[in-house]
Amino acid sequence: MSVDINSLKKEFPILNQEVYGKSYVYLDNAATTQKPLSVIDELTGFYKTYNSNVHRGVHYLSQKATEVFESSRDKVKAFINAPLREEIIFTKGTTDSVNLVASSFARSFLKEGDEIIISAMEHHSNMIPWRIVAEQYGVKLKYISFNEDGVLSFDQFLSLFTDKTRIVAVGHVSNALGTIHPVKEMIAAAHKRSVPVLIDGAQAVPHANVDVKDLDCDFYCFSAHKMYGPTGVGVLYGKKEWLEKLPPYQGGGEMINTVTLDKVIYNELPYKFEAGTPNVADVVAFGAAIDFMKRLGIENIAVHEDQLLQYAHKRLGEIDSIRIYGNAPDKAAVISFLVGDIHPYDMGTIIDKMGVAVRTGHHCAEPVMEFYNIPGTIRASFGIYNTTEDIDRLVEAVERAKQMFS
């Protein structure tokens, strides 16, 4: 790509430090990405110059805060090609977005004996909310299976539908294995049966172009902190017709139009689902993160990360006794592995001492680890600021750890 990655790294203060006396290599981007100065400056600038509550004030600061807050909504709308700005709901993150839909959908559309389809590969954030409503309403969860390469069975998915199927909830990309699921085809299949679909897009939006209009999904959830933005902010995209059908998730200020002692008239979209004072500063900074990604170009980000993934598969594959989990033909920039019989926590600790940050454990996807009969994996995940030299450092650290445990 045309961007000089080494120069780009200078925009990320946290990457320009030494850890344990070594230059820092950060390969835990699937958990959270680091933040460029443009995002940090936007966040501090908000508190320095126009901190105020939004929407209800007539004074200058409130008007200014409202303007920049709502401009972030417009940026999100354009970034995912949502048809309408009122279809963009700000939440605390992907988990909050899924919980909103699960709770509100259940209250209006689920009854005992109904069925929900999810995959056995889901992050706990897109599994536990549905487990909760299933227990509350006497609903059955049906799981899409996957094979050794980490590929969902489309035929088995189709076989799960019955006249009791009420919703499908599936991740766009597996956080544990990196598999890119054929969500457009899955959505089309569900819609043929008049079943709505929620997509957990936390691991997709940072790495590839996501067009919710083209996907035709009913709900799409993602988080700012995986997109070089701040923590504590996420998005629920929902088709207007569905958002209008769902009851409010939380009650309080902003989500009401009129309140008397006898009745409540709820606010219009999107505010119907944004109770209370929102996380104004971080939503504003999220807008700066979207600007950052647009400046680089999502297509350029995708190409760069795919090159890193291919290089990582090649270099790590040269290590004796390594086992890579998740070898789907379509993968995002995630590689999970184990070496010999070394526990992932033990190896991860040594890798950390070599100045390289990776994630170890079950990655909030315990059924995936159970499928492979392993305690967890070491996961390296890549972002726009990573280089092939970073991967070489990872390989060096893995080899060093292997020697120590041999």
Active-site residue set:
364
Around Cβ 296, how many Cβ atoms within 10 Å? 17
Q: How many CB atoms neighbour CB 193 within 10 A?
A: 12
Among 141, 126, 130, 84, smallest CA distance to 106 is for 130
List 180's β-bridge partners, or say none.
173
Rounded to an integer, what distance in angstroms lies between the CA atom of residue 383 and that of residue 115? 37
What whole-number distance in Å separates Cα of residue 330 and Cα of residue 327? 8
Helix, strand, or coil here: 88?
Answer: strand
β-pairing, 334-339 vs 256-259, is unpaired
Which H, E and C letters describe 64-77, residue by residue? HHHHHHHHHHHHHH
Q: Which residue has the tokens 């990320």?
A: 12
Backbone angles phi, psi at 51, to 5 degrees: -60, 125
The span from the CA of 280 to the CA of 257, in Å, is: 21
For residue 245, give the H/E element and its range.
helix 240-245
**What is the full DSSP assignment across 152-218?**
B-HHHHHHT--TTEEEEEEESB-TTT-BB--HHHHHHHHHHTT--EEEE-TTTTTTS---HHHHT-S
